[in-house]
Each structure stands twice: as C-alpha cells, then as structure tokens.
Amino acid sequence: MEQPGFPSPLKKESRRTMPRRTQLHPLDSTTLPYIMTAISSCVQEEAGSSVLSGKPLSIYKLFQENQMKKGIITSVVGVCLLALAAAPAFATDLTADQALTKLKEGNERFVSGKSMHPHTDAARLALAGSEDQGKHAFATVISCSDSRVPVELLFDTGIMDTFIIRVAGNVVDTDEAGSIEYGLAHVNTPLFVVLGHTQCGAVKAVTAATLGHGHPLEINIPPLVDNIGPAVKRAIEKNPKAEEKDIVPAAIVENVWQSVTDLFMRSAKAREMVKEGKVKVVGALYDVSTGKVEWLPEDKVASILAEVEKNPKRQMQAMADEGKGHEEHGSKKEEHKAEPTQEKEGHGSVKK
C-alpha cells in the first residue's frame, strides 16, 4: 500500500543499480520511531531548539507561527528525507556487516528483555502477500531444529527479515545446501550464519556413539547426523584427556565449522559469492540457558575456504544443466564430503 509522501516499493530489477540504503518501503509500526526521531532532529537543527519551547511537535504550526521562510522549509524537508532514507527500517539492501549488526543488536534486545518484535503486524503480513521476500530479507540462517532455539525470537526479527533453514544438528547436506544457495542467490541475502547451540542432542548422540556407548537409533537418524562425526573426532583429538561432558561443548563448536566446510564442499556457487564479496559467512553459538549468541572468529571461515579450494573432491559445478536431474550432477548425499564420515552399523546405530 502506498503511503502519502513516500514512493511505492522499487521494482526488483532496479535494486542492484541503486545506491545502498536509499530505498523505501511502506510504513509499518516499526518505522514510526525512526520517522519521528529524524523529523524532530531535522527541525531542531534548522529552526533552533528555542522555537520548539517544549511544545508537542507540529511542523505545520511551527512553520506557520514563526513564519519561516520557504527556503528553510525546503531545507528541513530535504534533510528529513535524507535522514529517513538512511533509517534502518527503510533499508532493503544492507551490506553483510550491516546485516550482522542488525542480528547482534536484535540478540542484545532479546537478552535484555527489550525485544521490539518488529515486522509482525498486519501491514507486514499484507506486504508479504504482495512483495518478493528478496526485497526485505537480509540474512540466511541455518540452525538446529531444537525447540530451545527460536531463531526469529532470539534475533528479534520478524516476517521477511530472515531466511531460515532448520535441521537437527544444523548439518549441511544436499537439501540444506540447496536451501542455502536459494537464500543467497535468489533471496539475495548478503549474510549467511551457521548457528550452533549448547546442549545439542544430535552432537551428544554422535559423541556417545563415537566413544563407544551410543544407543540404537531410528533408521533415518544415522544418515542425518553422520556429518557431525568428523567434528566430534576433531574435538576428541584436540582434547585427548577430556571427559565426555567436556568434549561435547568442543564438538558443538567444531560442528559449526563442519557445516561451513560441508557447504563450501557442496556449493561452488557459495564459494564464488564469498570470494566475490557478495556474501559473508559467519559462525555463531547460541546459549540456550542465557539467550546470548556468541559470535565465533570470522577469520576461521577464510581458512576453511582456502582448505576447501585445495580439495579435489569439492563440487566444481555451480549451476544445474537445464533439463537434467540432480543425480546427473554428482550431487548425491555421499559425494563432496570434506573427509570420510562414520560408517553405519546396520540401520539403527552409528558405528564408532
């Protein structure tokens, strides 16, 4: 819905040619604070704080009663529009760093009990029914399916803000890699986050199995969590004298990096977008007992990418050939692995 005084949403094809942070979308409840702050700031700068005299803000009366010159009015409006264009609520083309800042700020609000629950009103729902999510979403996130990890809530984001993939153990196999590619290349999010979490049941199960005291698993679970095996083994190798309760937290962090590795191994497109500076990949760890997200070292991603580029097993084809199925592209589950995964013992347990 177009609002008086504001342009209607820009067409998608014009997005990449426009300067960053200058596109506006229709108003909703989260944009109003930015508007009032920007206008108030502009008027105070142009008219002087003495003119306001503590009275409620009314631009019309302010201009009328003080007989401001037309040039000053034009200046105020111009400066206000610039401020509005720069306001975060209007940004639809954030950089990766700006997107990361929004997630960090959202988590800080969540932890402090000051969540704003943005973009959850009827206006946003109406917008979702009429616009491409690529105009609004600013981050792709893969997280665990665990009920203790409510991604939109812990980042204080709303409808059309984040493109989310959830799977047990936040693992990256064919389906997840394809979903991530869609989020990066088609939803156009500049940021990809691998979000692990404390007390991860999938990592605990694989750790127990690797240490020789796992329990029988339903038939589809071992092939789901087999990606976690290399992460657990690295955690054990790095902490040879640690007890199981201490290995699990280390394995959870290693599993974040394993998911980054598996994405780069499977997706030539993701590697290409990162190398071209179109996408930033970061790892993070969510503490289910505090709500706090710990952001892992960003330079680790660069070292993983460098190692994957040396691996002859990495996927080299970025695009599917028209008319061919995925089997013809070598994208089956067991291919493009960074290192051998655990073997299965029958169908119901993971072999150590």
pLDDT of the residue at 321: 83
Is the CB of residue 91 less than 8 Å from the CB of residue 30? no
pLDDT of the residue at 77: 47
Q: What fold, for 96-350?
A: Beta-carbonic Anhydrase; Chain A (3.40.1050)
pLDDT tens-digit series, residues 247-261: 999 999 999 999 999
pLDDT of the residue at 66: 53
What's the whole-model pTM score?
A: 0.72
Domain boundaries, the chain: 12-90, 96-350
Element (H, E) at 349: strand 349-350
The whole-angstrom separation of Cα 265 and Cα 271 is 9
> Residue 213: phi, psi to the nearest 5?
-135, 45
pLDDT of the residue at 93: 83
Is the CB of residue 324 less than 8 Å from the CB of residue 317? no
Using 50 as the pLDDT threshold, list the residues of the chain that sit under it: 1-38, 40-57, 62-63, 69, 72-73, 76-77, 79-81, 83-91, 325, 328-332, 340-349, 351-352
Written as one letter, the residue type at 22 is: T
3-class state of residue 172 by DSSP: coil
Element (H, E) at 139: strand 139-143
